[in-house]
Structure 1
Amino acid sequence: MSLLGLHHVQLAIPYGAEDRARAFYGDLLGLTVVPKPQELAGRGGLWFETGTLRLHLGIETPFNPARKAHPAFTVQDLIALRTRLAAAEVEVTEISALPGLTRFYASDPFRNRLEFIQPG
């Protein structure tokens, strides 16, 4: 047995928050909403994809944001993303670089922690 890769990451969002999630992950971050399978569509939430990246947002009641556990998204231009997030009044938290990586944290509208990293 061997693990081959990561199929998707799932984060929780509150009930009824799909429009806010679509605005943040779709409009601001540029991910594309994809239809959920019919047997899962009634549960609410959203699925996003771009290239090989798959992000699933599921409804959690009661909702508790992921404050420590988080996805880390590799980006092409960290400075441009930081500027875009700041213009949208998303708070960015600078963190120390790791060898070969520049990075920062931000939170989605639901206070889930997100990490954005750029090699180099």
Structure 2
Amino acid sequence: MRSHEHAAIGALCGALAVTLLARGRSFLEKLALWTYGLLLSVFIDLDHFVIARAKTGSWSYLTRAVRHPVWAFTEQESVFPDVEMKLDRLASHVLIGGGLVLALRPLSRLLAVFSAVVVYAHVLADLLREIEVA
């Protein structure tokens, strides 16, 4: 799934989660939480570069994306042309989400639950896209 699609899902899911979970919070707190969710829904995909490094032994995918960020966001299908990572990236998202929730829970129940909702929506969107493509 492309970054702009994850951003749209993160924005919608984050808005719904903020409405349901952050009652009684100030507008700025809600806005900060929503922004965090939007960023999380997009940047959790940075784990793809770590997976590509583990599979190929090279950071070349990351260095190319850093050198050409517009390309990395607009031509996402060509960022990892020869690296198969469908199940790896989904498993990685689940591990990251679980770890994030466990790490945030002692600090803020709201932030932990909100993070779980956003990562769940991200993984579900990826799964649905894989089913559609298959």
Instruction: Please report the TM-score for the alignment, with normalisation by the length of structure 2.
Output: 0.28
User: Max radius of gyration: which structure?
Assistant: 2
Q: Which has the higher strand share?
A: 1
Structure with the higher helix share, 1 or 2: 2
Structure with greater contact order relative to length (CA < 8 Å, sep ≥ 6): 2
